[in-house]
Structure 1
Amino acid sequence: MQMTFRWYGEGNDSITLKQIRQIPGVKGVVWALHDVPVGEVWTVERIEEVVNQAKAYGLNTEVVESVNIHEDIKLGLPSRDQYIEAYKETLRNLGKFGVKVVCYNFMPVFDWFRTDLFKEMEDGSTALYFDAKKVLSLTPEEVVKNMEENSKDFTLPGWEPERLKDLKRLFDLYKNVSEAELLENLTYFLKEICPVAEENGIKMAIHPDDPPFSIFGLPRIVKNKQDIQNLLNAVDSPSNGLTFCSGSLGGNLNNDLVDIAKTFTSRIPFAHIRNVKHFGDGSFIETSHRVEDGSVPITGIIQALYENGFDGYIRPDHGRHIWDEVCRPGYGLYDRALGVMYLLGAWDTQVLLKEQAGKTLQNV
């Protein structure tokens, strides 16, 4: 297992590479070219620039999150082929610099969704919050306005400005798109790009829907264990994998996260680990990584991954905003650094237990 930390780039993040380098156990940054419009090729020059920045601090750049998917690909429009060809070229360029994993998602129109970006908690910290009642009264346009006005002038990852300016047209296009059709479009995409990913030593790792249920009637196809199985069965390639995100899948209490981690470990090259606390009305808030603070069995997930031979990358996912830190929603330094230590502690415990079990057997 290799611990990583998400970084948004020089001039686009409140956190520096120097600070990340000082978090014990972190070996690499999870990065992207956030200023490149979706559908355009990531050039060798731009990729090399970020790789060299990280290398100067002894950090690798083996995980990219995300190379976003153009909406025409998701919709299965005739124009998708040109965007798929551009995606292939980006993969080839990333492969030249040793990138091993590309995280992506196939969520229509919206990326991750919350109603509150800085919801105050009992201890005075703030966190991302999903208000199940509030979402029923919001229009898509109000969602976008609320997210953008409350982001503290930081960009929102995955929320591409070009598509958010054309919400009505996009919603109209998705009116007759079923989950089965969306999966067909994803399958078409993967059949095209997986051979290129394989040739360049890259594993594609799809991120689950966040939250894992329909928003505003839009189709969702990575919500639960069966969806994941359907996706992995659709394209039989070692490059067709899953980003296991405990926070996204944990948005639905019906998902058995330990079972999902155990079942698909061999197809999980990348994991996001975070905690959420559920309330009785379907609302949830993101908490510290500590098991007792939320509803997600963090240590059980770590145990399942360890026992089933997980050898990929992990990063602490969204954290609270603590100690008066001014940062991108969900992506402060302090709480995620605490998360790193908690996750490493859980992993090291599994290593220790295995060592102790081995010594006991030797003494029998």
Structure 2
Amino acid sequence: MRMVFRWFGEGNDQVALWQIKQIPGVEGIVWALHDVPAGEEWPMDKIEAVKRQAEAHGFHIDVVESVNVHEDIKLGRPTRDRYIENYKRTIEKLGQVGVKVICYNFMPVFDWIRTDLYRELEDGSTALFYEKSLLQNIDPEVLVRTIADNPKFTIPGWEPERLRTLSGLFEAYRDVTEERLWSNLQYFLEEIIPVAARCGIRMAIHPDDPPWSVFGLPRIMTGQDNIRRLLRLVDHPSNGVTLCSGSLGANPANDIPAMIREFGDRIPFAHIRNVRVYENGDFIETSHRGADGTVDIVGIVEAYHDIGFTGYARPDHGRHLWGEECRPGYGLYDRAMGIMYLWGAWDAIQRTKKGR
């Protein structure tokens, strides 16, 4: 297991590279060019600038999260080919600087969705929270107005124009079924996987977060059967998955250790985090400690150990601790503690397996 840490870049992240350097066992940063709109080709000078910043602190840039997929590709519009060509050129540039894994997602309109960024836990820390009933059966047009008026709602900010065109996007997806979305994903993969393979890069799709339909939009990366189908669409080692225990863990029916054992050779990148799922379907993100949530974190680490996992892993969303001001879910303290919990579990399992 090769430990990495997500970093949003100078001027865009309150966590500094020198701070990340002091977390034991972290060898690289997980990065992206967050100022480049989805669908545009990444400029080489900006890619090389991140590489220099990382290497100055002894880090590699093997993992990119994310090269975002333009909505026209997901919708299967005629314009998708232009955006796919831009995507291919970006893959080629990333291969030139040594990138090994590209994480991406195929979620319509929204990336991850939460209803409260700072829900207080029993210990006084705060974390990302999802209130299921708040979003059930909501009219998308009501949602557009709600986002403008209610700070409890959030959507990721990597594509600002979405805030101005939400109504149009909902309308565009009105006739997009899950099967049509699968077809559009297959078209995309058939185009980019040969390029990724040639460049020595593994594409790793991120599961939907949460792993069910929201606002009536189709979602297809929700569990074991769907991951199995994805890997068969283009059956090549460069077509893989970012196995996120927090996203998949929001549905307690998902057996994540079983997924690791089945798909191990197609998991180049792992997000390991915990959530506490309530009986009504709400969930909140917790510490990485297994007892604090619903996800079997130790069982997950053991599964990775058992398959001889040599891919990249990072702690995912953390709590907000000790008054830290940070991007929601991406503070330094809880993610650093999460890494030490994961290493502790890994070392204990390794010691036990050796019979010591």
TM-score over 0.5 for the alignment? yes
Distance 1:354 1:4 in 2: 25
Residue 288 of structure 1 corresponds to 287
- State the secondary structure of the residue aligned to 1:74: helix
Contact 2:250–2:275 at 8 Å: present in 1 too?
yes
1:150 positional shift: 7.5
Distance 1:353 1:147 in 2: 50
Alignment identity in percent?
59
Residue 236 of structure 1 corresponds to 235
1:159 positional shift: 4.3
- State the secondary structure of the residue aligned to 2:219: coil
- State the secondary structure of the residue aligned to 1:164: helix
- State the secondary structure of the residue aligned to 1:272: strand
- State the secondary structure of the residue aligned to 1:165: helix
Matched, 1:182 2:185: no
Residue 94 of structure 1 corresponds to 94
Distance 2:353 2:279 in 1: 38
Residue 11 of structure 2 corresponds to 11
CA displacement 1:240-280 (0-9 Å, x = unmatched) = 00000000001111111111111111100000000000111
1:157 positional shift: 4.7
Distance 1:80 1:266 in 2: 30
Residue 360 of structure 1 corresponds to none
Structure 1 residues 146 and 314 mapped into 2: Cα distance closer, same or farther (>3 Å)? farther
- State the secondary structure of the residue aligned to 2:331: coil
1:12 positional shift: 0.1
Residue 361 of structure 1 corresponds to none
Residue 216 of structure 1 corresponds to 215
Distance 2:315 2:199 in 1: 27
1:57 positional shift: 0.4
| TM-score, structure 1 normalization | 0.94
Distance 1:49 1:85 in 2: 23
Distance 1:16 1:116 in 2: 26
Residue 342 of structure 1 corresponds to 341
Distance 1:255 1:14 in 2: 34
Distance 2:157 2:99 in 1: 20
Distance 2:206 2:195 in 1: 20
Task: Kindly provide the amino acid, as one letter, of the partner of residue 317 in structure 1.
Answer: D
- State the secondary structure of the residue aligned to 2:329: coil
Contact 1:278–1:284 at 8 Å: present in 2 too?
yes
Matched, 1:104 2:107: no
Contact 2:35–2:158 at 8 Å: present in 1 too?
no
CA displacement 1:25-46 (0-9 Å, x = unmatched) = 1000000000001111111111
1:354 positional shift: 2.8
Structure 2: 5+ residue stretches without partners: none
Task: Kindly provide the amino acid, as one letter, of the partner of residue 248 in structure 1.
Answer: S
Matched, 1:140 2:143: yes
Distance 1:341 1:242 in 2: 24
Contact 1:20–1:26 at 8 Å: present in 2 too?
yes
Residue 257 of structure 1 corresponds to 256
